[in-house]
Chains A and B, each alone.
Chain A
Amino acid sequence: MTDQAMIENELRALLRDCLGLSQQRVDAFDADTGLFGHLPELDSMAVATLLTEMEDRLGLVIEDDEIDGEMLESFGALLAFVTAKRQAG
């Protein structure tokens, strides 16, 4: 499995666990699938939990100033953020 495919699988699994969705449902997420702002259950505590779990599972450290609405806007944006972090790291 490529690094990119691994990241994508982990992110889908993470959203499945955080949002209580079926695997089938998260498998259908594409780059345009809306996240924060589109999903009412993602409040600030849920976002913090999601980011902290993302750090643990993907071996990242996310700084305060990197957290913004844009990275959480869509599945594609979140994937691009994590991919860039992994390449920079």
Chain B
Amino acid sequence: MHFASYTAPGGQEELALTFGDPSASTRLLVLPAWFDEANKLRHFSVELMRALERAGVASVLPDLPGCNESLAPLAAHDLASWRSAALAASQAYGCTHVLAIRAGVNLAPDLPGWAYAPLAGKAALRALLRARVVAAKEAGRSESSEALLQTGKNEGLALGGYHLGAEMVAALARAELPAHGLHTLTPADFDAAGLWLRAEPDHDGAQAEALAARIVQDVQG
């Protein structure tokens, strides 16, 4: 594993983890899950990339601007700037394929590849809004998803500890599952459960290995 960086549109440097031989004929752009799910799937994503490396497939996992080690304020980013960043990372590392994890599918550049348990942007937003409504109820306050969404579209909103800008909220609210040419894979294909469902973060090494094996098999055709 190496730490690398790519230049996102806007000029700032963003971290990327790279695995495998840079001259490998197949290099996978791994687009991470978002927000709370990003944490729950981080270990899985990195272990998957290690398994791919052992099988001779190189891969790169870019930080999205405003996330992880990024110095960019998340509130200044939206779906369009994230898409541009995904494309910039793909071009910087000469990626030949994409693996979009969960909501990462909303950012997938035009490459062949796989969508792992794809999630529409609007569904990701709905889950965050619901978590905030539940938290408010526990605290004895009453909030509604609809009113929060309206506020978010006008002035941005803090959801699950993430400060989303007004443009991001508005773009997510409209984001249906994009039409993509990717092969869809789900945990059920590996007789496993999605780690994003877990109330407490966990790992599933067997599923990471199985997903990597499936990708290698598809690549080798």
Contact = CB atoms under 8 A, between A and B. Distances in A.
Interface of A: 16-20, 39, 41-53, 64-65, 67-69
A53 B144 contact: no
A45 B36 contact: yes
Contacts of A49: 127, 131, 196-197, 199
Chain B CB count within 10 A is highest, among A43, A46, A48, A65, for A48
Interface residues of B, number: 25
Contacts of B130: 48, 51-52, 64, 67
A20 B134 contact: no
B50 interface: no
B134 A48 contact: yes
Nearest to B147: A64
A49 B129 CA distance: 11
Among A52, A64, A67: residue with most chain B CB under 10 A = A64
Interface of B: 36, 123, 126-128, 130-135, 137-138, 144-146, 160, 193-194, 196-200, 202
Contacts of B131: 44-45, 47-49
A1 B144 CA distance: 37
A65 B138 CA distance: 13
B127 A20 contact: no
Contact of B134 (A16, A44, A65): A44
A17 B198 CA distance: 6
Contacts of B128: 48
Contacts of B193: 16-17
